[in-house]
Structure 1
Amino acid sequence: MTSRYAIAYDVTEDRLRRQIRQACKRYGAHQQYSLFEVKLTPTERAKLVDKLECFVREAQEPAHIRIYSVGPRSNDIDIPEIDDSDEPANIV
């Protein structure tokens, strides 16, 4: 079973920002500069968390990543309403 998550990060180090962005792109869509919406199985979630923790441990400067659990897509509200027909297939 997959669940949706929002991943937000506050990172000043360019290399670390690129690593986080590349890791997150495998699982979902880049929504804003430092925000991703991803869909993960429990196994994928554990792997991604391990990878992100490793990146932060190796960082030269302080970094913070937060992963928010997001409810079903049917509860989302877009203002103004947007057409989701071009949305990547891995986001439900």
Structure 2
Amino acid sequence: MTDFEAIKLLREHRRKLSRLPAGSLVRFRASPPEDLGRCNIGIVQRDAALSAVVVLYIDCDNQPQQAVAAVSDLFIAEGERDDISD
């Protein structure tokens, strides 16, 4: 096995361990941030651990904020993409 093959195999394995990989669009379920605005959607900032992730979201003042959220409080929302080109 070459180094490149090993790296590819390890990356695939890491992806399987991460329930919410970086870039996943998510919605808050049980305990959203207190200042969550009208748009209940966020995007995972870094590769997710098994229990918590850093999520970038929009607050009440329409400003991007970061929060740490439990993976169990999120669900993937990629199938609900709207046209956001407004």
TM-score for the superposition, normalised by structure 1: 0.33
Relative to total residues, which structure has the larger helix share, 1 or 2? 1
Q: Which has the larger radius of gyration?
A: 2
Higher relative contact order structure (alpha carbons within 8 Å, sequence separation ≥ 6): 1
